[in-house]
Amino acid sequence: MIDRKEKHRMYASLINEDQKKIIGTVDKAIVAKQHQGSSIELE
Protein backbone atom coordinates (compact mmCIF):
# COMPACT_ATOMS: atom_id res chain seq x y z
CA MET A 1 0.00 0.00 0.00
CA ILE A 2 1.31 3.45 -0.93
CA ASP A 3 1.13 5.95 1.88
CA ARG A 4 0.17 9.57 1.28
CA LYS A 5 3.74 10.95 1.27
CA GLU A 6 4.96 8.38 -1.24
CA LYS A 7 2.00 9.11 -3.50
CA HIS A 8 2.83 12.83 -3.55
CA ARG A 9 6.50 12.11 -4.20
CA MET A 10 5.54 9.98 -7.22
CA TYR A 11 3.44 12.76 -8.74
CA ALA A 12 6.00 15.44 -7.93
CA SER A 13 8.62 13.56 -9.93
CA LEU A 14 6.40 13.74 -13.02
CA ILE A 15 6.51 17.57 -13.11
CA ASN A 16 8.97 18.75 -15.74
CA GLU A 17 11.12 21.89 -15.67
CA ASP A 18 8.71 23.98 -17.77
CA GLN A 19 5.87 23.18 -15.41
CA LYS A 20 8.06 24.14 -12.43
CA LYS A 21 8.73 27.53 -14.07
CA ILE A 22 5.02 28.13 -14.61
CA ILE A 23 4.20 27.14 -11.02
CA GLY A 24 6.97 29.45 -9.76
CA THR A 25 5.62 32.35 -11.84
CA VAL A 26 2.09 31.82 -10.53
CA ASP A 27 3.35 31.61 -6.95
CA LYS A 28 5.25 34.90 -7.38
CA ALA A 29 2.16 36.57 -8.85
CA ILE A 30 0.05 35.42 -5.91
CA VAL A 31 2.58 36.74 -3.39
CA ALA A 32 2.83 40.08 -5.23
CA LYS A 33 -0.96 40.38 -5.30
CA GLN A 34 -1.18 39.65 -1.58
CA HIS A 35 1.42 42.32 -0.80
CA GLN A 36 -0.61 44.92 -2.68
CA GLY A 37 -3.34 44.55 -0.11
CA SER A 38 -5.98 44.62 -2.80
CA SER A 39 -9.34 43.04 -2.13
CA ILE A 40 -9.63 42.04 -5.80
CA GLU A 41 -9.00 38.32 -6.16
CA LEU A 42 -6.94 36.73 -8.90
CA GLU A 43 -9.06 35.18 -11.61
Total tally of structural domains belonging to the chain = 1
Tell me the pLDDT tens digit for each residue of 4-34: 566 555 666 677 888 888 989 999 998 888 8
pTM above 0.85, yes or no: no
Residue 26 is predicted with a pLDDT of 92
Range of the domain at 26: 4-39
Which residue has better confidence, 25 or 3? 25
pLDDT at 12: 63
7-23: buried (b, 16+ CB within 10 Å) or exposed (e) per residue? Answer: eeeeeeeeeeeeeeeee
Distance CA 9, CA 15 (A): 10
What are the start-end ranges of the H helices in 1-43? 4-12, 17-36
Q: What is the mean pLDDT of residues 30-43?
A: 71
Q: How far, in whole angstroms, is CA 22 from its chain's centroid?
A: 8
